[in-house]
Structure 1
Amino acid sequence: MAIVGRILQAAVGSLSLPDKSIPFWGFGDVFLGKPQNPGPLIQATVGDQLIIWLMRNFITSIGEPLSIIFPGQENVMVRKIPWGPFIYEPVQPQYRSGKMISLTNYLDEKQDIIVEYSFTATKPGIYLYESGTNPEKQVQMGLYGVIVVRPQGFNIPGHPNYMTAYGAGTNSGYDVEKILVLSEIDSIMHNDVLPNVYYDMLKFKPDYWVINGRSYPDTIRGDNISSQPYGSQINCRVGQRVLLRIINAGFQNHTFYLGGFAGRIVAEDSFPLKTRSLDATYEKTGVTLGSGQRIDIILTPTTPGEYCLYDREYHHLVNKDQFPGGMMTRITVM
């Protein structure tokens, strides 16, 4: 068992859209100092203990109270810790401004209060972490991220679980993995929301639809966007198994079309559909995900080319009513 630690704080940032920028609230790594959408990816192996520290829980840099919830995780322990000597050994040294610092050093410098969330990763899968305070507003403003829990031995050649999402015998072996987080943005809401001020969600009307925080054509950009570091362009070779791990972090349902491929659904909401006694995996050319739903799909392309993956709702393929845009990306098969 290993300890996987992450120090997060929420902050106000600027979200890049194809035709403009808007303010957003996002989780960011304390040492990097920038919020992002989705929040930092947290990866663990079954049996690991995850410890996530949220800096300044009472009044954060977004200007209002904040908490984190972890849907799908059990026995999450929560406690507040004042600044000062830390009871744990530093998880890993961190670097800032060219010098190495530990979590204890950082707390001594900042003199902040943090909240610690800890739990054991008990089963493989993909999970959201998100704001648990005024989530109807804060999640839509961008306060969410992804946790990936992998089976033991997934990175050990020759191990039965090597390069599998859920372990041996689950039909989840893959060569290429891509996480796609679906959501939508109401740019008027993002410009109007004020800290500690009620926002009427009945006014919520998205005008941008995003994958990993980006709207097409930014979804296929190869360069880095600091506020949205995870692109969604997919590259593979003929015959490779491509694992798409799709999560709907938004409020709306999304029917995601697989570019003409017939993909095999191997897990739903992090429950594998194949066990030793039952194979309930099935093929689909498109999948509909409700709010908060997660699906793992294996594609095996047989023909080179470029294929579009997109939301089948036409009005989800626009940027401020301009087509093409929105929830669309590309898979390039070589």
Structure 2
Amino acid sequence: MTPFTSKRRASRAGILAVCASFALLPLRPARAAVPGITGTSFSLVASADYTTQPDGAAIYSWGYGCDPATTPAFAPFPGTCPQMQLPGPTLIVTEGQLVTVTLRNGLPPAAGNTSIVFPGFQVTTTGGVAGLLTQEAASGGGTVTYSFTATSPGTHAYHSGTQADLQIEMGLFGAIVVLPASPPAGCVKGRFSLAAAAFDNAATCYDREYMFQLSEMDSRIHDAALAQVQACPVGPCPAIVAVTEPYHPNYFLLNGRSMPDDMDTSYAPGYAHQPYNANPHMHPGEKILMRIVGQGRWQHPFHFHGNHARVLARDGNLLVSAIDQVSLAGPLLFTTPTVSGQTQDQIFTWTGKGLNWDVYNHHAGDGSTCTPDAAGYHSVPTDPNYGEWCADHLKPIPVAPPDPTIVAIGQWYGGTPYLGIQSTGAFTGTNEPPGTLNQNPQAGYAYMWHSHNEREITTNDVFPGGIMSMLLIDPPSWFIDETL
């Protein structure tokens, strides 16, 4: 982790890329951010439709969505909110606000009642019928309204409280983001960030943010539910009986999608009921807020290459020092155990430290400098290599680069191991003439982020797939447009 505060830049310079993920994959123009709907009053509907998988399967699913009689407001950029989506709409609210969520039951008659529970909040209800955990929206279009005060900043989960072993499996879950009411002074809000800081604490400033909701599906349960729904198209119907144990999931999801679909853009028309992607991008030295939610029945060990991440909070509870109540006290993790129902907010950054060469391709005499701060990183914010690990400044690559004639020159690999050519004289290797390396202006280092349970990086037991995505380190000069 690095102590410096990163700056955002946008200009014209290009970069070459190296894939650090063991595989060369085509890059789609995808971004993620944390898209959702914002406000204080939300009208949701629970209904059924089909979600898609990379193997071509269409999986019968249930999900929350926006009631078509309402027009939601979107953040941080315009999007869509269908009647059914997986996961449900991310609700973006502000600390201290009174939030109301009205749920209408649009599920088929055989599904019976449904509901929402909001762990961590004191909820009051209006209407509906009594259920085991909360008031429920009755089958056949019944409604219920939930109200709570957003008392705790951070990332939170919501999900069905009715026949949870079936309804959560079918897709009735989502996330809530509570923004701090008083962001700390000195934090700067990014163009596509929801806030300047994750909490009311100066140590939680960040530059970009991404949501990762990890879940799984056993398609046999979904098929069994569909058969019983089709057998009783008009109510009253007997309750669905689904054998949920032993549990054998065969699809593993990040934000409702599997690899490589999760790297396609948010709100892409090809995923009508899975609007959110999971493809983080960053500039070197930026602080990335990772909002991680365990939404499934299984624990998924989420592993991120490139660096460890500092845990800021669990379930919206900021982890600070018991001595001063200001300093962060969360652990550094290289793999996050995504416990079912638990949320975590973490900070991740990448600087190139440890690669043991000058990733910016500086040369002696080119006028570049590296002035280390107390932690060893370049401390001049106006320089394009701000945050560079100074111990590697001007250090040459320890191995010869590959011959470009035998390397696939794609958007995730440009034939050299440099993050960018900052000097006036381009790098000259054994097989490459000077000045010819700027083959792709957007490409950068790519790191695989994935489940550390190898079976979970498959789609119906076919590799690659499942809970897997890529972190892309873009050049400092490249504008990361999250709306694409």
Report the TM-score range of the alignment, normalised by the length of the smaller protein. Answer: 0.7 to 0.9
2:247 corresponds in structure 1 to 204
2:118 corresponds in structure 1 to 70
- The one-letter code of the counterpart of 2:462 is Q
- The answer to whether the Cα contact below 8 Å between 1:67 and 1:132 also exists between their aligned partners in 2 is yes
Q: C-alpha displacement at 1:204, in angstroms?
A: 2.3
2:346 corresponds in structure 1 to 297
- SS in structure 2 at match of 1:22: strand
Matched, 1:314 2:454: yes
Matched, 1:172 2:219: no
2:336 corresponds in structure 1 to 287
Give, in whole Å, the separation in 2 of the partners of 1:201 and 1:63: 15
- The answer to whether the Cα contact below 8 Å between 2:208 and 2:282 also exists between their aligned partners in 1 is yes
- The answer to whether the Cα contact below 8 Å between 1:273 and 1:281 also exists between their aligned partners in 2 is yes
- The answer to whether the Cα contact below 8 Å between 2:119 and 2:157 also exists between their aligned partners in 1 is yes
Match of 2:160 among 131, 143, 147: 131
- The answer to whether the Cα contact below 8 Å between 1:10 and 1:62 also exists between their aligned partners in 2 is no
- The one-letter code of the counterpart of 1:227 is H
Give, in whole Å, the separation in 1 of the partners of 2:184 and 2:42: 21
2:63 corresponds in structure 1 to 26
Give, in whole Å, the separation in 1 of the partners of 2:448 and 2:298: 21
Give, in whole Å, the separation in 2 of the partners of 1:67 and 1:56: 8
Measured against aligned partners, the alpha-carbon deviations of 1:142-199 in whole angstroms (never above 9, x if no partner) come to 0001111010144998689961111124x22110000100000111111111352211
- The one-letter code of the counterpart of 2:121 is Q
- The answer to whether the Cα contact below 8 Å between 1:316 and 1:327 also exists between their aligned partners in 2 is yes
1:48 corresponds in structure 2 to 97
The alpha-carbon distance between structure 1 residues 163 and 245, as it changes in their structure 2 partners (threshold 3 A), is same
Give the root-mean-square deviation of aligned CA atoms.
2.6
Give, in whole Å, the separation in 2 of the partners of 1:326 and 1:263: 22
- The answer to whether the Cα contact below 8 Å between 2:82 and 2:273 also exists between their aligned partners in 1 is no
1:91-106 matches, cutoff 5 A: none
- SS in structure 1 at match of 2:204: coil
The alpha-carbon distance between structure 1 residues 301 and 24, as it changes in their structure 2 partners (threshold 3 A), is same
Structure 2: stretches of 5+ with no match in the other structure: 1-37, 69-80, 129-139, 230-238, 353-418, 420-444, 475-484
- SS in structure 1 at match of 2:92: strand
Q: C-alpha displacement at 1:79, in angstroms?
A: 1.0
Give, in whole Å, the separation in 2 of the partners of 1:80 and 1:150: 29
- The one-letter code of the counterpart of 2:59 is I
The alpha-carbon distance between structure 1 residues 162 and 68, as it changes in their structure 2 partners (threshold 3 A), is closer
Give, in whole Å, the separation in 2 of the partners of 1:112 and 1:180: 31
- The answer to whether the Cα contact below 8 Å between 2:179 and 2:198 also exists between their aligned partners in 1 is yes
Structure 1: stretches of 5+ with no match in the other structure: 82-110
2:314 corresponds in structure 1 to 268
2:258 corresponds in structure 1 to 215
Q: C-alpha displacement at 1:127, in angstroms?
A: 1.0
- The answer to whether the Cα contact below 8 Å between 2:214 and 2:338 also exists between their aligned partners in 1 is no
Matched, 1:4 2:40: yes
2:301 corresponds in structure 1 to 255
Structure with higher strand content: 1
Q: Which structure would you say has the larger Rg?
A: 2
- The answer to whether the Cα contact below 8 Å between 2:279 and 2:469 also exists between their aligned partners in 1 is yes
The alpha-carbon distance between structure 1 residues 39 and 197, as it changes in their structure 2 partners (threshold 3 A), is same
Matched, 1:80 2:127: yes
- The one-letter code of the counterpart of 2:99 is L
Percent sequence identity over aligned pairs: 30
- SS in structure 2 at match of 1:34: coil
Question: What TM-score do you get using the length of structure 2 for normalisation?
Answer: 0.59
Q: Which structure would you say has the larger RCO, counting Cα contacts within 8 Å and 6 or more residues apart? A: 2
2:383 corresponds in structure 1 to none
Measured against aligned partners, the alpha-carbon deviations of 1:117-140 in whole angstroms (never above 9, x if no partner) come to 001111101111111100010001
Give, in whole Å, the separation in 1 of the partners of 2:221 and 2:283: 41
Give, in whole Å, the separation in 1 of the partners of 2:62 and 2:333: 35
Give, in whole Å, the separation in 2 of the partners of 1:290 and 1:189: 22
Give, in whole Å, the separation in 2 of the partners of 1:260 and 1:62: 47
Measured against aligned partners, the alpha-carbon deviations of 1:313-334 in whole angstroms (never above 9, x if no partner) come to 0111111111111101111111
- The one-letter code of the counterpart of 2:455 is H
Give, in whole Å, the separation in 2 of the partners of 1:283 and 1:142: 31
Q: C-alpha displacement at 1:232, in angstroms?
A: 0.3
Question: What TM-score do you get using the length of structure 1 for normalisation?
Answer: 0.84
2:431 corresponds in structure 1 to none
Comparing 308-317 and 222-231, the one that deviates more: 222-231
1:222-237 matches, cutoff 5 A: 222=265, 223-224=268-269, 225-237=271-283
